[in-house]
Amino acid sequence: MPSAMVFLFDTCTSKCAYCGHATSGKVLDNTQLTPYKDQRLIDKFLSFFEKRTDQNNRWLLMLLGGEPLLMPNLGYMIDRLHAVGNKASLYTSLNIGENNEAYKYLLASDPDAVDYIMASFHPEADAFEDRFFHMMEALKSQGHKVIFRFIAHPLRLHRMEALHKRCKELDICFSPYAYCSANYPLAYTKDDRHLIAQYTTNFSQIVQMENGLAVDRLQCEAGEKLLYINARDGKIFPCPNVFNRAIGNVYSDHLEPKKKGQGCYDPTTRCFCDINFQQSHVKGLDDSEHFNDEKHGYVAPKDNAALRKEIESRDFQFHNKVHRKSLGENSDDDRLILTKQEVRETFEKNKDYYHGDFRKGFHKEFLEP
Ligand code: SF4
């Protein structure tokens, strides 16, 4: 199934719902959501995919946010995707409360329209843990496939046992992923690694603990059946680990044809994103079977050493080196949560950010569809 990851907007008060790394500190006001109030923008954005949808080509749009449940017209977008046989998946921190419009939409809508909901339990969620689990349970009762994502921050490893137990009681998969910063995952101690390994459920988690795969010999579907899109400027990148060159734009309905024999688009990067493997986009390392099991309920931890051996036996090399200018570069490894005061101060400092030069980079169709 072709898949596109869609970055919608910043919700930079703390951690990103996808990987939980500390964000850039650009605390932006909610006027950045305004363009999504116009359904013509959603129509324009989706027409790129509708033109490329047929019986053999159904798209999965992975909505990353910031927090996608804050997006106005999210229900409209999902319904429209579903009407032509495409689906959405959502990466959410569920830090939006039970009165949130998009959450209420999910509790009342056809679960077939949503392939899965990745509920990422951030450090802030400790303060509303019962509500977080209640919301996951309600989504699951409606028929949604919910996975509990846990970013294994070194200061949070003690929480894994209890959270895993709660997930098991609800028949939801507890899925831990490496914390990513300028130092991590390479800085994990042997004991940290041993503990995290007890909860392994798929190949992707192992790849991330080893800082990704070396890309020199990889073949993949990036740029064709895997895309990464910034909804604000419309730029299309081949995958979530390659940003050295845009290969198209959704608003101008353009996508470069992939060159025959094209390997990784960026020889300096690492193949790191779990989606690359879970959606079966990297040749030889298909993690979709494990991932499908996770979508359908609790999965008992697997033998980490056996899965690792399996990856190594296929001649993949782990990247295993420091990788700068990537996810989590701004993280402070000793901090889990920004204080309200820090958020306020950053907002004051950056309150005109969205209305200044930053906005000039947006596509005209995004601002006036
Ligand atoms: S990093 Fe992206 S382009 Fe490179 S091999 Fe992995 S999926 Fe393909």
The CATH number linked to 357 is: 3.20.20
Range of the domain at 271: 3-367
Q: Dihedral of the CA atoms 266, 318, 323, 230 (nearest 10)?
A: 50
The model carries a pTM of 0.95
Tens of pLDDT along 39-69?
A: 999 999 999 999 999 999 999 999 986 789 9
In 3D, which of 259, 219, 265 has the Cα closest to residue 240?
265
- Residues flanking ligand 1, CB < 6 Å: 215, 218, 220, 222, 238-239, 241-242, 264-265, 269, 271, 276, 281-282
- pLDDT tens per residue, range 140-153: 999 999 999 999 99
Residue 4: count of CB within 10 angstroms of its CB? 20
Residue to mutate, 220, 227, 275, 326, ligand 1, most ligand atoms under 8 Å from C-beta = 220
The residue ranking higher by pLDDT, 78 or 181, is: 78
- Give residue 272's pLDDT: 93
Q: Atom of ligand 1 at shortest distance to CA of 220?
A: 8
The dihedrals phi and psi of 248, each to the nearest 5 degrees, come to 170, -175
Please spell the DSSP secondary structure of 303-334, one letter per residue.
-HHHHHHHHHHTT--B--S---SSTTTT--TT
* Section 286-291 average pLDDT: 98
Whether 287 shows a pLDDT value over 90: the answer reads: yes
3-state class (DSSP) for residue 198? coil
User: What's the gap in Å between 267 CA and the centre of ligand 1?
Assistant: 9
257: left (phi over 0), alpha (psi -120 to 50) or beta: beta
Distance CA 277, CA 318 (A): 14
Q: Whose CA is nearest to atom 4 of ligand 1?
A: 264
Q: Does the pLDDT of residue 18 top 80, yes or no?
A: no
pLDDT at 15: 44
CA of 266 to the centre of ligand 1 (A): 8
Q: How many domains does the chain have?
A: 1
Tell me the per-residue pLDDT of 322-341, one tens digit each, with 9 for 90 and over: 665 555 555 678 878 777 78
Q: What is the pLDDT of residues 177-234, one digit of tens each?
A: 998 888 899 999 999 999 999 999 999 999 999 999 999 999 999 999 999 999 999 9
- Tell me the average pLDDT across 316-321: 87
CB 69 within 8 A of CB 22: no
